[in-house]
A and B are shown apart, each in its own frame.
Chain A
């Protein structure tokens, strides 16, 4: 049993603590404090040292550069939702997450670090080609989000690193769509979510991206399938709806859990895809 809790004043201190102890970061704590809770009047007990990083200013920013928008990992969901430069599809997802009191403390870095297949910022981040910047005392590395998350709760984060920033290429989509199916919003993790972003010229599709949340061990985005349906017209797309759904079907590999059944998730996610193709686009 280890009761070590570190309260670093700044990023360098936090990185030193990571390097020398491997202490697990707590940002907003909305995942960790709940997972390790023990009940009324008792502090949660972690069986590993922890380091509180939610208050570190160097991790809380939203900045725009020539090609990218940069979001510090400890930026809260509320801050993201209120910001004008954040891509709309990410804001649509954040607006459907939890309640104001949770969004005021929950961070984007925590949603990514948690690596839940139902993490709601993830499908938009996949669609937006987001990169995750990881920092340790020696420097930093940048990896695409789909390489960062390797399974449910699994990432390639090293024990001396922290998630420093989410970098999102600036770009515009002609049409975006986000739909989350859950129960009571304030507590519902997604049963299923579907995100889409499309660019077109006239009625020819230039670029079409889909992401499915909570239907497989990791978020589903297939650049391969997307590539097969480029440079076709809307009409052709609608006619080939069944073919597209069939291509995604084997990737959709949901589980039964307390929130829903695998069968329900499979049906609903493919239906959302078809609905988007027939009625939204």
Chain B
């Protein structure tokens, strides 16, 4: 069964005609070639596939594309074009918060969501905001510090 599903993707109006149960993750990667959206666990536990839907962080691996009809979706590619992306990326690089890089797009999307909600997040808010993201290479403490540094540099 196919349905036409229309949404805004990184600022552009798009539509797909497909099985509405396809995972948003697959639609983003296959139909729009947004391969920065990663698949780790495929069951909502690692955050590698995180995107922002209508201003909220979600894991695209467990969202059926039919559920985002009419929604606004921001992926890591859209975030790259925002002003604060450079500061977040610099902080991650400076802190050594990237090793293999697989978790990084999801971490940055989660960081964006944290800073969007509160530009001066407490450490507790950062820990909570990153709690759905796993990194198997670096330590979470380094990533948490990178987010703190990004927040500071943005405020400056």
Contacts and interface: CB of A to CB of B under 8 A. Distances in A.
A39 B45 CA distance: 15
B136 to A, nearest CB: 13
Contacts, number: 97
Given A29-B62, A39-B42, A101 B67 contact: no
A50 B128 contact: no
Contacts of A40: 26, 39, 42
Interface string A41-59: 1111010001010110000
Contact of A43 (B3, B26, B43, B67): B26
B56 A5 contact: no
Interface in A22-74: 26, 29-30, 33-34, 37, 39-44, 46, 50, 52, 54-55
Contacts of A105: 56, 58, 62-63
Interface string A63-96: 0000000000000001000000000000000000
Interface residues of B, number: 35
A235 interface: no
Given A33-B64, A34-B62, A186-B132, 15 more contacts: A5-B3, A5-B20, A37-B62, A41-B30, A43-B21, A43-B22, A55-B67, A98-B132, A100-B129, A100-B131, A100-B132, A101-B58, A104-B58, A105-B56, A105-B62
Interface of A: 3-5, 7, 26, 29-30, 33-34, 37, 39-44, 46, 50, 52, 54-55, 78, 98-102, 104-105, 185-187
5 contacts: A37-B43, A43-B21, A104-B58, A105-B62, A185-B131
